[in-house]
């Protein structure tokens, strides 16, 4: 099942591509969309000029699993995402990021992969387009459950990308408070992957 959606983000492209990867924004994102109260970074790898960041959170079934599938939930759920950044290609927008999701319940057997493209519109806005495809086999050997799960993933992505600009507006309020209190630089402290990303984008 394929999915595509374009939205306008109220931030400059070079700011957005970096700040969306801060721990503070990820936590806000996870809480806003019912993915859990916190985000845990599982792994960060640098292979040549390609950086991979793998994070996960722990949502509740009622927030992320389609109703007909909730009866199959028997254990704690995890939502995982892996993102790949080609640092050599981040000097100027448009930025193209690759991702893979491992949604709750479906596990590694599902393929939810795609790209996010971030294009500059002006000094305070950018265009973000997601193109992805989900392929979920039947769950628990029950016919039809894979289709239900794929539709649930598509619907949820649609909700997230529709409402993302409002979450970014909330982030901008948080960011201003950090800047006013001289704590903005703390967003980067101790995060090697984020520092690599920031240096590739904010090069001048």
Give the separation between CA 65 and CA 47, rounded to whole angstroms.
34
Two structure tokens written together for 133: 């495809």
| C-alpha distances out from residue 187 to 55, 163, 202, Å | 17, 24, 15
Span 41-60, average pLDDT: 92
Closest CA to 110 of 158, 60, 84, 147: 147
The verdict on whether omega for the bond into residue 94 sits within 30 degrees of 0, i.e. cis, is yes
Confidence of residue 73 (pLDDT cuts 50, 70, 90): low
Q: State residue 63's pLDDT score.
A: 65
Least confident residue range of 31-45, 61-75, 77-91, 170-184:
61-75
Q: What is the pLDDT of residue 32?
A: 92
CA distance 122 to 29: 24
Tokens 């950086």 -> residue: 51
Q: Where are the alpha helices (DSSP H) in 119-204?
A: 145-180, 192-201
Please check whether residue 55 is in contact with residue 41, taking contact to mean a CB–CB distance below 8 angstroms.
yes
**pLDDT at 45 > cutoff 90:** yes
Q: What is the pLDDT of residues 111-156, one digit of tens each?
A: 789 999 999 999 999 999 999 988 776 655 556 666 766 777 777 7
Contacts of 41 (CB under 8 A, 6+ apart): 23, 53, 54, 55
For the question of whether the overall pTM of this predicted structure is more than 0.95, the answer is no
């Amino acid at each position: 099942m394929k999915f595509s959606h374009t939205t306008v983000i109220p931030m400059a492209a070079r700011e957005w591509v970096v700040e969306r990867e801060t721990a503070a924004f990820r936590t806000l994102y996870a809480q806003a969309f019912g993915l859990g109260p916190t985000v845990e970074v599982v792994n960060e790898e640098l292979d040549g000029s390609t950086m991979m960041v793998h994070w996960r959170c722990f949502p509740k079934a009622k927030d992320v699993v389609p109703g007909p599938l909730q009866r199959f939930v028997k254990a704690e759920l995890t939502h995982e995402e892996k993102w790949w950044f080609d640092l050599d290609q981040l000097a100027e927008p448009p930025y193209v990021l690759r991702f893979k999701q491992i949604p709750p319940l479906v596990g590694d057997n599902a393929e939810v992969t795609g790209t996010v493209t971030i294009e500059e519109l002006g000094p305070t806005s950018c265009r973000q387009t997601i193109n992805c495809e989900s392929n979920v086999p039947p769950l628990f050997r029950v016919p039809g459950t894979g289709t239900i799960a794929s539709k649930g993933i598509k619907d949820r992505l649609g909700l997230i990308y529709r409402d993302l600009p409002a979450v970014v507006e909330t982030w901008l309020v948080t960011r201003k408070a950090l800047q006013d209190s001289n704590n903005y630089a703390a967003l980067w402290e101790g995060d090697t992957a984020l520092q690599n990303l920031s240096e590739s984008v904010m090069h001048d």
